[in-house]
C-alpha cells in the first residue's frame, strides 16, 4: 500500500474533554486506502520540531475523502494541532502501519483504554457493516417472505460487536458513537461510571464472552488482555501504543520484543510503526 504525503485541509475540530480533541481533515487520497487500525503522521509548522506526530485514525470516510483523528494533547506538537480550525492546512503522511483484520460473523470484544479508544470506533463500524452484509446475504439466499420481509436470522448479528471502554473518570468521550454498533460496557478508574476498575473487571462483572478480541490501549492493559485471551483460548489482536520517530520503520525507535527474528534488524524485535501497530498477541512479548 503506497504512503502519500500531502497537504490536507482541516474541515473541523471540536474539543471533547479538557485535553482531548476531535479533528477532521480532507485527505481523499489517503482515505481511499486506509483501513481500521492504521495511523497517519502529522507535521507541525514549527521548524524546530522536525519529527511528525503519529495519530491513530478514529474515522475513515472514503465517500467524503475525510479522515477523523481523536487525540490527546501530549506535548507542544499536539498542542499546536489543537489550535487548528476549519480552513487551516496541515501536512500529513499516510496511511501507515498494518490495521485490524475484519472478521465478520464472530462475537467480538472491541476493547479500548484511554486514548486507545478512538481507533476502535472505525473498527466497530467496519465490523457492524460486514456483519450486516452477512445477514443480507443469508436473507437473500433464504428468499423473501410473502409479506415482503425476510426470515429471522437467529436474532441477527447486532450483538456481535461488544465494546468495552476504559476511562479515567466520567468524561466518556465517543461512548455514544460506539452504541450505534452494539452494546457498550464501561469501566472507570474512579468508579464514577460503569464498573469501578479496568476493562477486565467490566468483562468479569458483566459475565461477557467473545470469540475474538481486538484491543488498543496502555501496555499494562494489553498485557492483562493477552494473558486473559490465552487463558480463554481466544484469538487476540493488540494495537500497541508507542512513541515513534520516523513512522515508516527505518529508525528502529519504536520496537517491541517478538518471538520471531525480524528480517530487518536480525534480532527478536518488531517495528511497531511498520510491522504493527496491530499484532497477534502471541507474536509479541509485553
Please indicate whether residue 134 or residue 34 has the higher confidence score (pLDDT). Answer: 34
* Residue 271, annotated as binding a ligand: no
Residue 265 confidence class, pLDDT cut points 50, 70, 90: low
Tell whether 251 is in a known binding site. Answer: yes
For residue 286, what pLDDT is reported?
A: 77
Return d(Cα 216, Cα 122) in angstroms, integer: 13
Closest among 227, 103, 108, 217 to 165, alpha carbons compared = 217
Residue 155 has pLDDT above 90, yes or no: no
Tell me: is residue 54 an annotated ligand-binding position.
Answer: yes
How far separated are the first and last CA of the chain, in Å rounded? 28
Structural domains of the chain in order of their starting residue, each with its CATH number: 4-96 (2.40.30.10), 108-140+155-241 (3.40.50.80)
pLDDT at position 283 is 86
| Residue 58 is labelled as binding a ligand | no
Stretch 65-91: mean pLDDT, rounded? 97
The pLDDT value recorded for residue 149 is 35
Which H or E element spans position 127? helix 118-142
77 annotated among ligand-binding-site residues = yes
Residue 134, pLDDT > 90, answer no
Mean of the per-residue pLDDT values of the chain: 86
Is 80 exceeded by the pLDDT of residue 241?
Answer: no
Q: What pTM value is reported for the model? A: 0.86
User: What pLDDT score does 151 carry?
Assistant: 33
- What's the confidence (pLDDT) of residue 152? 33
Whether the predicted pLDDT of 67 surpasses 60: yes
- Residue 122 C-alpha cell reads as 472505525
Mean pLDDT of the region 135-147: 54
Q: Is 209 annotated as a binding residue?
A: no
Whether 49 has a binding-site annotation, put simply, is no
Q: Are 94 and 41 in contact (CB under 8 A)?
A: yes
Compute the distance between CA of residue 170 and CA of residue 149 in angstroms, rounded to an integer: 42
Asked if residue 55 belongs to a known ligand binding site, the reply is yes
Is the confidence at residue 113, as pLDDT, over 80?
A: yes
Supply the Cα-derived Rg of the chain in whole angstroms: 20
pLDDT > 90 fraction of the chain, expressed in percent and rounded: 71
Q: What pLDDT is attached to residue 219?
A: 92
Task: Please give the C-alpha separations between residue 68 and each of 104, 157, 274, in angstroms, as whole numbers.
Answer: 23, 27, 21
Q: What is the pLDDT of residue 114?
A: 96
Q: Is 216 marked as binding a ligand?
A: no
Residue 244 reports pLDDT greater than 60:
no
Which string of DSSP letters, residue by residue, matches 134-191? Answer: HHHHHHHHH---TTS-----TT-STTSEEEEEEESSS--TTHHHHTTTS-EEEEETTS
Cross-strand partners of 40: 55
Mean pLDDT computed over 163-185: 97
pLDDT in tens, 198-221: 999 999 999 999 999 999 999 999
192 is in an annotated binding site: no
Over residues 7-58, the pLDDT tens digits come to 999 999 999 999 999 999 999 999 999 999 999 999 999 877 778 899 999 9
pLDDT for the residue 49: 79
In the three-class reduction of DSSP (H, G, I as helix; E, B as strand; rest coil), residue 38 is classed as: coil
Confidence class for position 263, pLDDT limits 50, 70, 90: low
Q: Give residue 148's pLDDT.
A: 38
| Best CA proximity match to 95, nearest among 21, 23, 29, 7 | 29
- 70 annotated ligand binder: yes
246 is in an annotated binding site: yes
What does the pLDDT average to over 112-123? 97
Amino acid at each position: 500500500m503506497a504512503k502519500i504525503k500531502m497537504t490536507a485541509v482541516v474541515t473541523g475540530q471540536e474539543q471533547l474533554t479538557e485535553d482531548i480533541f476531535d479533528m477532521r481533515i480532507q485527505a481523499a487520497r489517503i482515505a481511499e486506502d486506509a483501513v481500521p487500525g492504521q495511523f497517519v503522521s502529522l507535521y507541525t509548522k514549527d521548524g524546530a520540531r522536525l519529527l511528525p506526530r503519529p495519530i491513530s485514525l478514529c474515522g475513515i470516510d472514503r465517500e467524503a475523502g475525510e479522515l477523523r483523528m481523536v487525540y490527546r494533547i501530549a506535548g507542544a506538537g499536539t498542542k499546536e494541532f489543537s489550535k487548528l480550525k476549519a480552513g487551516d492546512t496541515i501536512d500529513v503522511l499516510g496511511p501507515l502501519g498494518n490495521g485490524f483484520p475484519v472478521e465478520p460473523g464472530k462475537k467480538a470484544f472491541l476493547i479500548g483504554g484511554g486514548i486507545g479508544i478512538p481507533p476502535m470506533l472505525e473498527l466497530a463500524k467496519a465490523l457492524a457493516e460486514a456483519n450486516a452484509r452477512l445477514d443480507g446475504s443469508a436473507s437473500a439466499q433464504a428468499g423473501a417472505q410473502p409479506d415482503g420481509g425476510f426470515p429471522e436470522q437467529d436474532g441477527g448479528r447486532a450483538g456481535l460487536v461488544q465494546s468495552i471502554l476504559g476511562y479515567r473518570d466520567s468524561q466518556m468521550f465517543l461512548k455514544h458513537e460506539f452504541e450505534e454498533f452494539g452494546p457498550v460496557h464501561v469501566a472507570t478508574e474512579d468508579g464514577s461510571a460503569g464498573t469501578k476498575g479496568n476493562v477486565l473487571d467490566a468483562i468479569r462483572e458483566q459475565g461477557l464472552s467473545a470469540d475474538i478480541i481486538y484491543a488498543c490501549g496502555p501496555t499494562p492493559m494489553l498485557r492483562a488482555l493477552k494473558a486473559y485471551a490465552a487463558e480463554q483460548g481466544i484469538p487476540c489482536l493488540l494495537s500497541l501504543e508507542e512513541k515513534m520517530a520516523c513512522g515508516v520503520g527505518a529508525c528502529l525507535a519504536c520496537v517491541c520484543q517478538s518471538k520471531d527474528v525480524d528480517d530487518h534488524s536480525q534480532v527478536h524485535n518488531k517495528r511497531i510503526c511498520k510491522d504493527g501497530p496491530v499484532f497477534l498477541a502471541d507474536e509479541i512479548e509485553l
